[in-house]
């Protein structure tokens, strides 16, 4: 359960980050709704609050529309509102401004300080108030922050949002402007008092969370399927490789068995050289086989290897007993005496002359 909770928390964080990124992208195409002479006016955001856009060197009026309740939006305005970031500015006469002084060290904790004081500062109950704040250094004391809290009724914000939604406008942020403490009558930069990302309905967050969960499940499912497929494929390839190796050995045995001196002689010189190398006896292997097969009481005086025919001459106290070990060595076949066995000069040892056929070393390695 702890792992599930961690995954859900991680998905929530991803959903919030995605919505914040999308909101930041749309802020570059902001549309502002203000009250002018008792009417709501929709216009494009301008840094200097002018209704002028400069395009291709000519001066043109920006998007500007007087909003009338119950009137449908023009198609281009509806499209611009969907693609852009809609900001509603609450009129100053519907905003209550409160000021408070806090130490400059508390700048990082202003949100908590204002939240704890909102019941005292707001003319409405805390659960019916919508507020935001900004802070600037006091002109009298640099160690003091002059905090301005802008408060309005939740009913005012909800009513405006519902009225605009009925017209087809989905507001992303509600702002208000405070009056500067330095210059009377001059308004400061807008302060956000409501945001759809932080304070709005959770349908968007739920939808994004659901999409992220589905995407992660699809990725994990695809990864598991690919892993299973790779394991099955590797097992199948391994089985095919083993089968091919067995077949190759069988074919090699058939080819080796079917080779005759005439067929070898008919091969091209390079191939004939390789075949001769494969079927020829190895002197090192023959000597190793003889050293293992012969007893310590026997020793050799002559070894001659002519192709696959091996002839050895030596002395032993029991010459006939040498044939069986040589035959059983696995390296020699058709072991026999090719000359009579005679007594040696000392009268104790016998001189033997043995001939045998050497097995090809490729066949021995296969076995």
Would you state the pLDDT for residue 252? 66
The CA distance from 7 to 367, in Å, is 58
Query: Poorest-confidence range of 61-65, 163-167, 279-283?
Result: 279-283
Q: Per-residue pLDDT averaged across 232-239, rounded? A: 88
| CB contact set of 249 (below 8 Å; sequence gap of 6+) | 366
Q: Per-residue pLDDT averaged across 67-80, rounded? A: 80
The CATH fold assigned to 2-97+114-131+149-200 is Nucleotidyltransferase; domain 5 (3.30.420)
Query: Poorest-confidence range of 145-149, 217-221, 258-262?
Result: 258-262
Would you state the pLDDT for residue 128? 92
Its CATH class, for the domain covering 276-366, is alpha beta
Residue-wise pLDDT tens digits, 26-61: 666 788 898 888 888 888 765 444 333 333 333 334
Tokens 């199948």 belong to 236
Would you state the pLDDT for residue 253? 63
240/152: higher pLDDT:
152
The CA distance from 265 to 276, in Å, is 10
| CB contact set of 116 (below 8 Å; sequence gap of 6+) | none
């Amino acid at each position: 359960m702890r792992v599930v909770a961690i995954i859900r928390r991680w998905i929530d964080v991803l959903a919030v980050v995605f919505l914040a990124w999308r909101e930041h992208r749309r802020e570059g195409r902001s549309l502002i709704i203000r009250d002018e002479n008792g009417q709501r006016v929709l216009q494009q955001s301008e840094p200097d609050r002018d209704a002028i856009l400069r395009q291709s060197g000519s001066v043109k009026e920006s998007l500007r529309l007087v909003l009338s309740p119950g009137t449908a939006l023009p198609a281009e305005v509806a499209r611009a509102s969907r693609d852009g970031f809609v900001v509603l500015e609450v009129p100053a006469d519907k905003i209550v401004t409160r000021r408070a002084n806090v130490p400059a060290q508390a700048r990082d904790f202003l949100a908590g300080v204002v939240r704890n004081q909102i019941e005292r500062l707001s003319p409405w109950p805390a659960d019916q108030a919508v507020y935001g704040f900004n802070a600037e250094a006091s002109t009298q004391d640099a160690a003091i922050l002059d905090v301005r809290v802008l408060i309005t009724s939740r009913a005012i914000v909800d009513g405006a949002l519902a009225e605009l939604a009925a017209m087809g406008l989905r507001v992303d942020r509600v702002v208000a402007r405070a009056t500067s403490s330095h210059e009377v009558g001059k308004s400061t930069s807008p302060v956000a008092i409501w945001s759809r990302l932080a304070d709005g309905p959770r349908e968007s967050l739920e939808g994004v969370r659901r999409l992220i969960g589905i995407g992660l499940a699809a990725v994990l499912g695809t990864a598991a399927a690919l892993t299973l497929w790779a394991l099955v494929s590797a097992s199948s390839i391994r089985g095919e490789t083993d089968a091919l190796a067995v077949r190759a050995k069988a074919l090699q045995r058939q080819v080796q068995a079917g080779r005759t001196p005439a067929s070898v002689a008919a091969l091209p010189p390079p191939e004939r050289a390789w075949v001769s190398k494969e079927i020829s006896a190895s002197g090192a292997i023959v000597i190793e086989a003889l050293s293992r097969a012969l007893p310590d009481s026997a020793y050799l005086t002559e070894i001659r290897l002519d192709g696959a025919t091996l002839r050895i001459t030596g002395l032993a106290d029991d010459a006939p007993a040498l044939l069986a070990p040589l035959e059983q060595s696995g390296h020699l076949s058709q072991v026999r005496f090719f000359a009579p066995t005679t007594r040696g000069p000392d009268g104790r040892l016998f001189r033997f002359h043995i001939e045998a056929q050497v097995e090809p070393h490729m066949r021995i390695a296969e076995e």
